[in-house]
Structure 1
Amino acid sequence: MSNPTNGRLISLDALRGFVMFWIMSGEHIIHALAKAAPIPIFLWMSSQLHHAEWNGITFYDMIFPVFLFVAGVSMPYSFEKKMNLAGVSTPQELPSKEKRKIYLSMLRRTIILVVLGFVVNGLLRFDGFDHTRFASVLGRIGIAWFFAGMIYLNFDFKKQFIWFLGILMGYYAAMKWIPVPEFGAGVLTKEGSLEGYIDRLFLPGRLHSTVYDPEGIFSTLPAISTALLGVFTGTFLKAKNQFSINAKLILMALTAVLLIIAGLIWDIDFPINKHLWTSSFVCFVGGFSILFFVFFYLIIDLSGFHKWAFPLILIGSNSILIYIAAEGSVDFKHTADYFFGGMIQYLPMIWQPVFVALSVTGVQLLLLYFLYKRKWFLKI
């Protein structure tokens, strides 16, 4: 097997595209299939493409953290050129002047993602300050990525790991032991959690769920640890050390299993909960994120089987753009109906929603292919 760890990882775009596919239209295909052909596999897949109501986890709950994990994996690779130009082997050795440039670039990216998050949430509808939701998926990605990057640039691995554990343990301690007025300490409900209380006190505008926001202020803290897990993975994979690539993959898989077990054990006292982004959630989903990455890396980058993943690469290479478009800024259904609606109407009624969903995916992929061939990417 080849070892492409020093170049661009195609698997990162493919994995990013895989998780984004379900958000942009894949979920609608599966839900329609489950109604048209209610066999166990489709019903189970459909059930996995909804968020858990509160405690517990589904595949849909993993999409956001896997995306953030991938952003962390790419960080050691994205800084490699700057380290080579400066003649240093670690980001901590970069000259202060070079670091300041990186800080400004990272801050710019974060601000753009936060503002784009506002736009996705309807800022341009001008509904008024009180009706605008300021917390967002893109905002959390930007903020968590920024602070993970700051830790990566300024601390060696041992101290990075201390940050990782400190954030998870600190968040756990605060959520369990700091009392909330009228509820007390350790009440992990929508109304009674410290996270929800902080959102109600300090988060301006409209909260996503009235009494808390799943992308709120305090729960962004453990999301930094999710990004750091990606940083650790990318750093380990890229490092030149005594481990062969096969040994690295085995160690990564074993680490993933240990994280999943740790998440399940922690779940007993601090439930796995995507809404609160609990520390057990970070461990559990972090383990699966590593397993997803190992699979894609092994199949695509090492084995060279990447043609099957081309649609995923199209999505992953323009993931932010298609996310913004799919979240409401572009009416893909209208376009798909214009081109395919005439044919679909002659299909059996029960199967029409399936082909409507497939036609939407087709239109999205055609747009992404057009952008890909012209090398037009939304780079932030």
Structure 2
Amino acid sequence: MTKPTPRFLSLDVFRGLTVCLMIVVNTAGPGARPFEQLVHAKWFGFTAADAVFPSFLFAVGCSMAFAFSRPVPLRAFSAKVLKRAALIFLLGFLMYWYPFVHQVDGHWALAPFSQTRVMGVMQRIALCYAIAAFAARFLSPRWILALCGGLLLGYWAILLGLGDGDPYSKLGNAGTRLDLLVVGRDHLYRKDGGFDPEGLLGTLPATVNVLAGYLAARALRQASDTRKTLFRMAGLGGVLVLAALAWNPWFPIAKKLWTGSFVLLTVGLDLILLAALAALLEGREPNAATRFFQVFGLNPLVIYLFSELFVITLRQFDVAPGQDPYEWVGVHVFQAIAPGGLGSLLCALAYMLVCWLLGWVMYRRGVVVKL
């Protein structure tokens, strides 16, 4: 498959930077606690790690602005969108089921479907993509903005009106109640006391991140005066950050709950970052630094999926009593070089470079996998 020439270098770099940081955050080196900014906020609050997933959704929206630029019959469009969403959702589900077997009393047995998580990162991407795609197909930018406002305010109203006790608590919020009713406790995230940070209801506000990316890239693609468009984009980003902080006392910033203030904050930061990258990179030839991120940006979902599956595979085997290969390397190599958070970060960066090598091979061979 031939590697396409990117329309905007800044979008490829933005997408690649997001995947790069996602891998670093998700595979922190063992043996020490990572730096605080590389760990998700426990509940309310915000860290750099919290910005990664919404930025990925924003990048999905950016890609939509180019993928949907050509007129396509509705039936073909619908089939393509639904097929892609179903494939991404299925791969996300299989990722959580992987490696499909586990040991019971020294014997290998099939991992039960009844205990496999249904929702997750890729599943949320799939659902948000599908909703945003049809919104982009049928609505003008003005109506998309109205939809975004409706989704954020509607989500807030649902949390306030249908929660059990504290509407912003992990187990009392309306999203958890919906997940328990529809998905069931055995199919939810197991590390947060019964709360799933990628649950069904949170799909609504998360879709706004995708739609924001779509509108931003659409504005860039159609801009007659790119410089003025970038100034407006950065200015709007600053306004959204201030709006998020103003909303925070009533609807606290929380990544796991994906609150409206969290959406405004992350969209605002993404608009500022994208405007800065576009101002810096557009009109210039790619260099070694931009190509590094382009490698991630050309096959983002494939590289992300590989990063999750490979580390899961490494953790199936012991190379020392109670230590799998990734843990052994993190403790005996990187913690020996730099004890503490720095060693954890160096281990994560090394793993990220391993994943980059896969992307580099695909890049050199001109392979672009469009999930």
Q: Per-residue deviation at 1:16?
A: 1.6
Select 1:136's aligned residue among 105, 115, 120: 120
| Matching residue of 1:86 | none
What aligned pairs does 1:307-326 form with structure 2 within 5 A after superposition? 307-326=288-307
Select 1:196's aligned residue among 169, 176, 182: 176
Q: Per-residue deviation at 1:187?
A: 2.2
Q: Per-residue deviation at 1:306?
A: 3.9
Unpaired segments of 5 or more residues in structure 1? 1-5, 36-42, 84-93
Query: Deviation digits for residues 181-235 of structure 1, max 9, x if unmatched?
Result: xx2xx52100111111111111244211342211101111111111111111112
Query: Deviation digits for residues 146-201 of structure 1, max 9, x if unmatched?
Result: 11110110011221111111111111111112343xx2xx5210011111111111
In terms of fraction of residues, the more helix-rich structure is 1
Q: Per-residue deviation at 1:322?
A: 1.6
| Matching residue of 1:20 | 19
What aligned pairs does 1:287-366 form with structure 2 within 5 A after superposition? 287-304=268-285, 306-329=287-310, 331=313, 349-351=336-338, 353=343, 357-366=348-357
Contact map agreement 1:332 1:363 (CA 8 A) in 2:
no
| Matching residue of 1:115 | 90
Residue identity opposite 1:121 in structure 2: Y
Please say which of residues 363-372 and 148-157 is displaced more in the overlay: 363-372
TM-score (norm 2): 0.83
**1:57 matched to 2:46:** yes
State the alpha-carbon separation in 2 of the partners of residues 319 and 134 from structure 1.
22
State the alpha-carbon separation in 2 of the partners of residues 203 and 227 from structure 1.
24
Select 1:103's aligned residue among 57, 70, 78: 78
Q: Which has the higher contact order (CA 8 A, sep 6+)?
A: 2
Kindly tell me the number of residue pairs found equivalent between the two proteins.
340
Contact map agreement 1:66 1:285 (CA 8 A) in 2:
yes
State the alpha-carbon separation in 2 of the partners of residues 234 and 363 from structure 1.
30
Task: Tell me: CA distance 1:229–1:310, structure 2 relative to 1, closer, same or farther (3 Å).
Answer: same
**1:69 matched to 2:58:** yes
TM-score (norm 1): 0.81
Contact map agreement 1:300 1:306 (CA 8 A) in 2:
no
Q: Per-residue deviation at 1:10?
A: 2.2
Q: Per-residue deviation at 1:346?
A: 9.1
Residue identity opposite 2:86 in structure 1: I
Contact map agreement 1:26 1:361 (CA 8 A) in 2:
no
**1:377 matched to 2:365:** no
Q: What is the RMSD computed on CA atoms of the aligned residues?
A: 2.9
Residue identity opposite 1:215 in structure 2: E
Select 1:177's aligned residue among 146, 158, 161: 161
Unpaired segments of 5 or more residues in structure 2? 102-109, 318-323
What aligned pairs does 1:204-353 form with structure 2 within 5 A after superposition? 204=184, 205-208=186-189, 209-241=192-224, 244-304=225-285, 306-329=287-310, 331=313, 349-351=336-338, 353=343
Query: Deviation digits for residues 337-369 of structure 1, max 9, x if unmatched?
Result: 99xx99x98999333857655543443322221
Residue identity opposite 1:220 in structure 2: T
Q: Per-residue deviation at 1:248?
A: 0.4
Query: Deviation digits for residues 231-280 of structure 1, max 9, x if unmatched?
Result: 11112112255xx1111000000100111111111111011111111111
Residue identity opposite 1:172 in structure 2: W
State the alpha-carbon separation in 1 of the partners of residues 300 and 9 from structure 2.
14
